[in-house]
Structure 1
Amino acid sequence: MELNDTRQISAAPEIVWAALLDPEVLKECIPGCQELTGSVEDGFEAVVTQKIGPVKATFKGAVTLSDIVPGQSCTISGEGKGGAAGFAKGGAKVGLTPEAGGTLLTYAVEARVGGKLAQLGSRIIDGVARKLADEFFERFQAAVEGPSEDEPAEETDEDTKKKGWFARALGR
């Protein structure tokens, strides 16, 4: 399964880049992530629980960042084993381009599964993979930008309201 998409993020490229490399941000953004430990340099160990069709499994595996061009692009790869459910492998090539009012984030996602998961059929797998990728990048955008205009903001100060929790943590 392959998926290509873009997101306009209302934050400077430096903030978006810092968020991409932050394990706390990644943990919050990966759907079903229960645990994420490690570092960008050494890779991360992850525990993720997902329900795909009738199969629910806890995957233990690794997340690595490679092909890093500081401030511009990287590849986020993950591989996990879910016991009898099988395995899942995937990655996203992420690129950042400065634009007026923020950053254009582009991504190309690729995913593969094996074992019982593969028996569910490509239509179900493709749909779930698309949903998980969209959810990851929606959460990522929210972490960097803050709540959308439809959601109530946590604080009343106008400048703070527009910032995501990650941008607030950086004091920007």
Structure 2
Amino acid sequence: MEIKGTHTFSAPRDVVWDALMDPTVLAKALPGGEKLEKVDENRYKAAMHVRVGPVQGRFEGEVELTDIQPKERYRLRVSGQGTPGFVNGEGTLELQDTEDGGTLLQYAGEAQVGGRIASVGQRLLDSTARSLVRQGLQALEEQLQARLHPPEEAPAAEAEPAPANGGQAKAASATEGDATEGGDAQASAPSTSKDASTSTSSTSAGTGPSATRVAVQVARDVAQDLASDYIPPEKQERVFFFMLGALAMLLFTVLVRLVQRD
């Protein structure tokens, strides 16, 4: 199976290179990725969930970077296996500056698959691979833009004017009232903070897009790719809405017949 193509990032080459060498960024851009851990210099342990047609499952393996020329290119070697079978691949990634200040990525490689995943057919494998690569590049682009344009911090709230004497007395009274209600509120505060901390930790531990979202996008891309053999891409949307309208009319006719029969 051959994989090759190009993609233009709206980011300088040094920023793109740093992202391609950052396992945290790559893990978040890996469709269906579950983990990407560094085990040695330029060698990582990876796990991802893949679905190709009716075959799906978890792959575990290694990713190794070789022939590294900073900010220009490197060679990528991938090996993995799981319940659906195995996959071994090798390819290169090259970066070039564009005239508008962006970065052109050129990628090319070959992969060999075996086991149940190889039984789905070459065309389905090729379409799924292109969809996964496209989703990964889009996710990487989003992370690059987040690095270049981080969200602005909310302005600090202006200090409220000091209350009058009456307001101070009222606030003091309210404070005393809260203190006499017992330690329930105080006891619940640490629990809330702990829950918030746990939520933040579990969120930050996430890696790539969820397997469900990836599978839905892959199915959509594969359907469009297979349909292009019979329907030109520019006419697929028109045909889709025509078929949807025809299906709606058919359902309406069936409902009318059922009502008339009753």
TM-score by length of 1: 0.79
Structure 2 match to 1:129:
129
Q: Distance in 1 between matches of 2:121 and 2:21?
A: 34
Structure 2 match to 1:93:
92
- Listed one character per residue, the Cα deviations across residues 15-51 of structure 1 (whole Å, up to 9, x for unaligned) are 1110000000110111111011115724000111111
Higher strand fraction (1 or 2): 1
1:7-156 correspondence to structure 2 within 5 Å:
7-38=7-38, 41-83=41-83, 85-100=84-99, 101-146=101-146, 155=151
- Listed one character per residue, the Cα deviations across residues 74-102 of structure 1 (whole Å, up to 9, x for unaligned) are 1222211013x210123441111122322
Identity %: 35
Larger radius of gyration: 2
C-alpha contact (below 8 Å) 2:39/2:45 kept by paired residues: no
Q: Distance in 2 between matches of 1:86 and 1:118?
A: 8
- Seen in structure 2, the aligned counterparts of structure 1 residues 6 and 42 have a Cα distance that, compared at 3 Å, is closer
Shift of 1:125: 0.9
C-alpha contact (below 8 Å) 1:96/1:106 kept by paired residues: yes
> Secondary structure of the equivalent of 1:31?
coil
- Seen in structure 2, the aligned counterparts of structure 1 residues 75 and 96 have a Cα distance that, compared at 3 Å, is same
Q: Point out 4+ residue stretches in structure 1 off by more than 6 angstroms.
A: none
C-alpha contact (below 8 Å) 1:21/1:40 kept by paired residues: no
Higher helix fraction (1 or 2): 2
The CA RMSD measured in Å over matched residues stands at 2.2
Q: For this pair of structures, how many residues does the alignment match?
A: 151
TM-score by length of 2: 0.53
Q: Distance in 1 between matches of 2:4 and 2:51?
A: 23
